Amino acid sequence: MSSERFFIINGSHSRGDEVVLGEGESRHLFRVVRARPGDEVTLLDGEGGTYKAVIRTGGTIGGLKKSTGVTAEIISSERSGPAFIVDIAMPMIKSHRMDFAIEKCAEMGVRRIIPFRCERSIWKGGDEEAGKKRARLERKVAAACKQSGNPWFTRIEPVTTFAGLAGMLSDYGSIYLADAAGASFYAAFGKRDSSGGMIGIVGPEGGLTEMEREALLSSGAVTVSLGLNRLRSETSAFLMASGMILCKKDLQE
List beta partners, residue 178.
224
Domain limits, CATH 3.40.1280.10, in the chain: 86-252
What pLDDT sits at residue 64? 45
CATH 3.40.1280.10 is held by the domain 86-252: yes
CA 30: distance to chain centroid? 27
* CA distance linking residue 235 with residue 101, whole number of Å: 7
Cα 246 to chain centroid, rounded = 15
CATH of 6-79, one of 3.30.1490.20, 2.40.240.20, 3.30.1370.60, 3.40.50.1110: 2.40.240.20
pLDDT at position 129? 86
CB atoms within 10 A of CB 237: 29
Cα–Cα distance for residue pair 171/73, rounded to 1 Å: 41
Q: State the Cα–Cα distance between residues 151 and 157, nearest whole angstrom.
A: 18
Q: Is residue 222 within 8 Å of 176, Cβ to Cβ?
A: yes
Contact 172, 61 (CB under 8 A): no
What residues have CB less than 8 Å from 214, skipping those under 6 apart?
Answer: none
For the chain, where do the domains classified as CATH 2.40.240.20 start and end?
6-79
pTM for the predicted model, two decimal places: 0.86
The pLDDT, as a whole number, for residue 63 is 46
Task: Look up residue 49 and give its DSSP letter.
Answer: E
Q: How far apart are CA 231 and CA 229, in angstroms?
A: 6
What's the pLDDT score for residue 181? 85
Q: Identify the pLDDT of residue 26.
A: 86
What pLDDT score was predicted for residue 243? 87
- Give the span between the Cα atoms of 24 and 26, in whole angstroms: 5
Distance, CA of 123 to CA of 119 (rounded, Å): 11
Give, for all 253 residues of the chain, the pLDDT tens digit.
346 789 999 888 999 999 988 888 888 887 788 888 899 999 999 999 999 999 988 755 444 445 567 889 999 999 887 667 899 999 988 889 999 999 999 999 999 999 999 998 887 778 788 888 899 999 999 999 998 999 999 999 999 999 999 999 999 989 999 998 888 877 777 655 556 789 999 999 889 999 999 999 999 999 999 888 888 999 999 999 998 888 766 655 5
User: Residue 143 corresponds to which amino acid?
Assistant: A
